[in-house]
A = this chain, B = another copy of it.
Amino acid sequence: MKPEVFCFSAYVALLSFACVGTTQAADSKLEKAVRDADAEWSKVAVAKDLDKTVAFYADDAVILPPNQPAVTNKDGIRNLWKGFLDSFIDISWKTARVEVAKSGDMAVLTGTYEMTMKDGSKDKGKYCEVWQKKADGKWKVGMDMFSSDLPAQSSSSPGPGAAERK
């Protein structure tokens, strides 16, 4: 083997080893970054800061709320969240599972939420959020879907479960 070929092979081998060795650490770091972003999002929603809450969505984000069609534009997302913030006294959500793509540009979070409405009713349910890592390194929500765990209630008779909102 020529020295330069050997050097190149050794370099590639070393690089491969380094990549394998850091994959898990990188995964943990990425998972933490997304969990932190999600926790920050939760905080601004609890604080009812509409501007900061909707700023977590990517420009091309979609929300898939129950009992209405998908919301696919910024004004729609803002109106939806305005309605949420006007309706609840308290909200909290907790991410149970995070899955990050190997390339570190996409993450799927699933978890559960609890909410107390202004009329005293309570709701609880689950959600799936798809986060995208943007060119500037910031994580943004590209898809947000949620639904109540409670039995369906007619929308003409409000009560627990009628408010299927995160």
Contacts and interface: CB of A to CB of B under 8 A. Distances in A.
Interface residues of A, number: 45
A150 to B, nearest CB: 7
Residue of A66, A126, A143 with most chain B CB atoms under a 10 A cut-off? A66
Contacts of A64: 110, 126-128, 145, 147
Given A152-B154, A154-B157, A66 B147 contact: yes
Interface of A: 3-4, 7-8, 11, 62, 64-70, 97, 99, 101-106, 108, 110, 112, 126-128, 130, 132, 142-143, 145, 147-155, 157, 161-162, 164
A108 B157 contact: no
